[in-house]
């Protein structure tokens, strides 16, 4: 390259991200709190949150979740990042109180198969 010439970078979308996932998460491989299912809903805590000082990926999550809640899987797809990376980023944002989450409702226990069978048989008799 000659002196004074500008360096030009060309990006290929098919090549993937320029930054490795472990760099985005600062080397962490999992969230501190393990409460993020694929269907956990995420929304920005305050829609007026300023993202100019955040790294690009957390800022993108905040921006995606401003208007309506999104599932963890939707966020990962929207950012084209592995779910494991998104979970670490969500954990950081949650600890910073920049997002709110709602986990899926867990049933206390699975319904009794005999009860389900009795209901089916009762419906058939109608």
Angle, helix 83-95 to helix 56-64, in steps of 10 degrees = 80
What CA–CA distance (Å, rounded) separates 126 from 122? 7
Please, are residues 63 and 75 in contact by the beta-carbon 8 Å criterion?
A: no
In sequence order, what are the beta bridge partners of 41? 71, 102
And the tokens for 121?
């048989």
Tens digit of pLDDT per residue, the chain (126 long)? 555 566 665 555 554 555 566 667 666 666 667 778 889 999 999 999 999 999 989 999 999 999 999 999 999 999 988 898 899 999 999 999 999 999 877 656 777 788 888 889 888 887
Q: What is the pTM of this model?
A: 0.65
């Amino acid at each position: 390259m000659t002196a004074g010439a500008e360096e030009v970078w060309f990006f290929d979308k098919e090549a993937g991200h320029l930054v490795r996932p472990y760099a985005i998460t600062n080397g962490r491989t999992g969230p501190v709190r393990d409460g993020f299912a694929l269907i956990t809903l995420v929304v920005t805590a305050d829609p007026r949150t300023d993202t100019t000082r955040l790294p690009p990926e957390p800022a993108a999550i905040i921006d995606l979740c401003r208007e309506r809640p999104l599932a963890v899987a939707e966020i990962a797809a929207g950012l084209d990042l592995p779910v494991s990376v998104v979970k670490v980023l969500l954990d950081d944002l949650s600890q910073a109180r920049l997002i709110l989450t709602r986990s899926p409702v867990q049933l206390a226990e699975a319904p009794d198969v005999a009860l389900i069978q009795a209901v089916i048989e009762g419906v058939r008799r109608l």
